[in-house]
Chain A
Amino acid sequence: MSVLTRLGLATVLISTSLVASAENITPNLKFNGFATASGAVVDDAQGGEYLKDFFGYKGLTEDPSFGLESLIGLQFDYQVNNKTNVVAQVVAEGRNNYQARAEWAYIAYEINDNLSFRGGRFALPTYMYSDSIHIGQSYPWARLPAEVYAGVPITNFDGVDLLYRQPLGDWSLNTQLLMGGSNTELFRTQNSLGLNVSLSNDSLTLRAGVIKTQLTYIIGCDIGLGFCPLDVKEADTLFSNIGALYDDGQWFLAGEFAQLMIDGWVSDWNAGYLSAGHYVGKWLPYVLASKVNAFNGDDCTAPALFGTCDMARDYNEQTTYAIGARYALAKNVSLKSQLDHVTGFNNTNGYISNPSHLPDAFNVLTFSLTAAF
């Protein structure tokens, strides 16, 4: 199916959704949708591609892209009875030729007002915005800071979780405990155990979380390296994250810090971002700085073929300084523009794939339209 036909279908879907979501199909089935139309261009992609997906989908180059970071999604919520509902979220991304895939599909059971239990596939709660990772409307930037958010290449997992919420006056304490794993074409995680806690009121959210898992690479030998990177089998992995978000309709302040540590020769990293913005009428101009720093833990036992730990790691460092603005076109529709200055590679490739030389600083210009309905 051609891209245009897919886009045409997407448009029909959006228009019918706009009508349908005004009245639910039945009182028990609600559906909502979201979409992002994004165009971006890099002034000098260093002979390669920028932000190429971990799974090999195309990245950004000097040729303006109008579909790569675009997507459309639908979310269904079916209330089976007072205590049970079934939620599914289907996403079709431009980088993947708009092939629809199930991002979430789970059953939620409300044990009581404070406690609920879920089973199925749901968002991997790595970061503060993980729950709404595809919903451009939920954050002001043209894309979630890559230095932090691209560090973990999966966004969902299969398993069970327990959600506990405790009101504390004006505040709400939310805790999530999860167990499960993920399976992708390139790697698998198993025996994952995660815990996150967030404390929030009307304007401020404070969050901290950890996820412990075992990582196995299932990449074959034919990846052009000349040897097999077999040495990642059930490697103990620990991901940790803290974040804070303040938004009172006047000021927007956000920051997160994350760290991923994997036993063995796969490099570890830590990353963070800070952003500040100020609402001026329908505008929200903002600044954003983000950085990722890779390092190798002391437990580096590089396979003999690699020689040294430095050569063994697939490691990237980069820093982005961005300035942008979001304009509220309508209720739940925004127009965003952002200019990124990407630098600080420290003799690594950063997030440029297959560059012809070690990257020098470059810039990215992005425009996007986001909607939720």
Chain B
Amino acid sequence: MTIRQFFIASALCISTFAAQAELVVVTHPGNTINTLPLSQLNRIFLGQSSSYANGSRAIALDVNDNSRTQFYREILGKEPGQIEKYWMRMIFTGKAHPPREVKLSEVKSVVAETPGAIAYLEKSQVDASVKVLKIEARQ
């Protein structure tokens, strides 16, 4: 594999940031989808879409700790300032509200009992109560 191919392959993977724990996107175990395009993940977390490709309801959950900044910055490519400004505009134009916030200790249990829920977790925290979604980056 050439260096160039290696970097392209890495870019297509969502994780691998040595300094912080790897984050994965998780959903309710009953969710029939296995993958989600990055653009759709973006739309769900920005309140622009409330369903998955199969038509079922998507309920985004934000985690009330540092992983939130990491998720937005590294997976969605958005800075906290951008997100704050975006939500302020969305709320006050009556268009959408930010995702419900849950404590880190509750993420797994809320995702496990809420059909359609979607959130983010450290890979090491994942267990059978939640399903990991593969995020497809743009080609």
Q: What is the distance, in angstroms, from A123's C-beta to the closest C-beta of chain B?
A: 7
Partner of B94, one of A34, A87, A249: A87
Chain B residues with Cβ below 8 Å from A113 are 49-51
Known: A82-B57, A167-B48, A331-B84. A131 touches B92 (CB 8 A): yes
Which residues between 68 and 111 of chain B lie within 8 Å of chain A, taking CB atoms?
78-79, 81-82, 84-85, 88-89, 91-95, 97, 100
A332: CB under 8 A from chain B?
yes
> How many A-B contacts at CB < 8 Å in the complex?
57
| Contact for B92 among A82, A106, A202, A372, CB less than 8 A | A372
* B123 proximal to A (CB < 8 A): no
User: CB distance B39 to A138 under 8 Å?
Assistant: no
- Whether B88 and A372, one on each chain, are in contact in the complex, defined by CB atoms closer than 8 angstroms, is yes
A330 CB to closest chain B CB, in angstroms?
11
- Count contacts on A: residues with CB < 8 A to the other chain: 32
Residues from chain A with a CB closer than 8 A to the CB of B88 are: 135, 137-138, 332, 372
| Chain A residues closer than 8 Å to B82, beta-carbon distance | 202, 249
Contact A32 B91 (CB under 8 A): yes
A172 to B100: give the CA distance in the assembly, Å. Answer: 23
Q: Is A278 an interface residue (CB 8 A)?
A: no
Number of interface residues of B (CB under 8 A): 22
Q: CA A235 – CA B116 in complex, angstroms?
A: 52
How distant is the Cα of A369 from the Cα of B82 in the complex, in angstroms? Answer: 21
Residues of B within 8 A of A82 (CB): 57
Instruction: Provide the bound-state CA to CA distance between A165 and B49, in Å.
Output: 10
A373 to chain B, nearest CB (A): 10
Contact A132 B100 (CB under 8 A): no
Does A30 make an interface contact (CB < 8 A)? yes
Please tell me if A149 contacts chain B, counting CB pairs below 8 Å.
no
CB neighbours of A34 from chain B (8 A): 92
Contacts of A332 in B (CB 8 A): 84, 88
Q: How far is the CB of B69 from chain A (nearest CB, A)?
A: 13
Residue A345 interfacial (CB < 8 Å) = no
Q: How far is the CA of A104 from the CA of B50 in the complex (A)?
A: 24
Are B94 and A167 in contact, with the CB atoms below 8 A? Answer: no
- Inter-subunit contact B43/A167 (CB<8 Å): yes
Mark B residues whose CB is within 8 Å of A. Answer: 39, 43, 48-51, 57, 78-79, 81-82, 84-85, 88-89, 91-95, 97, 100
